[in-house]
Chain A
Amino acid sequence: MIVSITTKPNTVIAHLAGELDEHTAGEARKRLDLAIHMACVQNFVFDFGALTFMDSTGIGVLLGRYKSLRAKHMNIFIVNPSPHIDKILNMAGIYTIMQKISERGQNE
């Protein structure tokens, strides 16, 4: 599990790569929390393009980050989920609190 952070004007992007499960969630939480803590922007994007596996532990990680992102009044977006991860995010209702957009920033 690798979390790398890049920035664009007014936006922080967290790129998650590898497999997100109970074993890797601790490290992912730590890196995401640091990025959220440092962020002084309006938009936070989770890029799942290189995330090859996620189970319900990932839902817990997202719900936890949602709280701290909302506390900072940031908009939260998700880009590039694989069809399988998309299915899990849908099922858990994540898209009711985080917006799925295409990489160009359009609503999906």
Chain B
Amino acid sequence: MNNEFTLKLPAITQNEAFARSTVAAFCVELNPSLEQINDIKTAVSEAVTNCIVHAYRGRSDGQIEMRVCLENGGVAILIRDEGCGIADVEQAMQPFYTSMPEQERSGMGFTLMRTFMDDVQVESDPAKGTTVRMRKQIRTED
């Protein structure tokens, strides 16, 4: 049976550690290695930070929806916001690209997500917000 949960949480930085730790704890059922757990935590942290810093910039009422599903020995993670969206997703995913060059941003968020997860899909609409879908295989014997 697939195991899954959905969580909605305010888009504030205090919730970053909670979001990544919660996903990591949920994945323990798949018996991941420490490296796999750290990969997942980092990818979730990047996606959640994007919601807070970019999607809801200048707002304090934003909500982040997080759906996590354990299926076929892997984890599928959906992170969705209803913020300002990304006009050019391809550009946003380029290593070292940042829309906020005046701040100390590395522009490595999507690059880390892509490196640490097996698959990353980004869907964005400037009017509706952004949805990030990521998947990582944990067990190979399934």
Do the two shown chains form a genuine complex with each other? yes
B17 proximity list for chain A (CB < 8 A)? 19, 21, 23, 53
Q: Indicate if the CB atoms of A63 and B108 lie closer than 8 Å.
A: no
> Which among B14, B38, B52 has the highest number of chain A CB atoms within 10 Å?
B38
A60 proximity list for chain B (CB < 8 A)? 103-106
Q: Indicate if the CB atoms of A53 and B111 lie closer than 8 Å.
A: no
Q: How large is the interface on A (under 10, 10 to 19, 20 to 34, 35 or more residues)?
A: 10 to 19
Interface of chain B residues 41 through 80 with chain A (CB within 8 A): 41-42, 45-46, 49, 52-53
Ordered by A's residue number, 15 sampled pairs between the chains whose C-beta atoms are within 8 Å are: A21-B16, A22-B13, A22-B53, A23-B16, A53-B42, A53-B45, A56-B49, A56-B109, A56-B111, A57-B49, A59-B106, A63-B104, A83-B35, A84-B38, A84-B42
The listed residue (B13, B16, B35, B112) touching A88 by CB distance below 8 A is B112
Q: Indicate if the CB atoms of A84 and B35 lie closer than 8 Å.
A: yes
CA distance A23 to B105 in the complex (A): 14
B53 proximity list for chain A (CB < 8 A)? 22
Is B115 in the interface zone, CB < 8 Å from A?
A: yes
Is A55 in the interface zone, CB < 8 Å from B?
A: yes
> Which among A19, A29, A60, A83 has the highest number of chain B CB atoms within 10 Å?
A60
CA distance A53 to B112 in the complex (A): 14
> Interface SS of chain B: helix, strand, loop or mixed?
helix
Q: Indicate if the CB atoms of A64 and B108 lie closer than 8 Å.
A: no
Residues of A within 8 A of B (CB): 19, 21-23, 29, 53, 55-57, 59-61, 63-64, 83-84, 88, 91-92
Q: Indicate if the CB atoms of B16 and A91 lie closer than 8 Å.
A: no
B107 proximity list for chain A (CB < 8 A)? 56
> Interface SS of chain A: helix, strand, loop or mixed?
helix
CA distance A23 to B111 in the complex (A): 20
CA distance A64 to B104 in the complex (A): 6
The listed residue (B14, B38, B106, B109) touching A23 by CB distance below 8 A is B14
Q: Indicate if the CB atoms of B104 and A61 lie closer than 8 Å.
A: yes
CA distance A21 to B18 in the complex (A): 12
Q: Indicate if the CB atoms of B108 and A59 lie closer than 8 Å.
A: yes
CA distance A19 to B53 in the complex (A): 18
A-B residue pairs, 6 tightest by C-beta: A59-B106, A23-B13, A64-B104, A84-B38, A56-B108, A60-B104
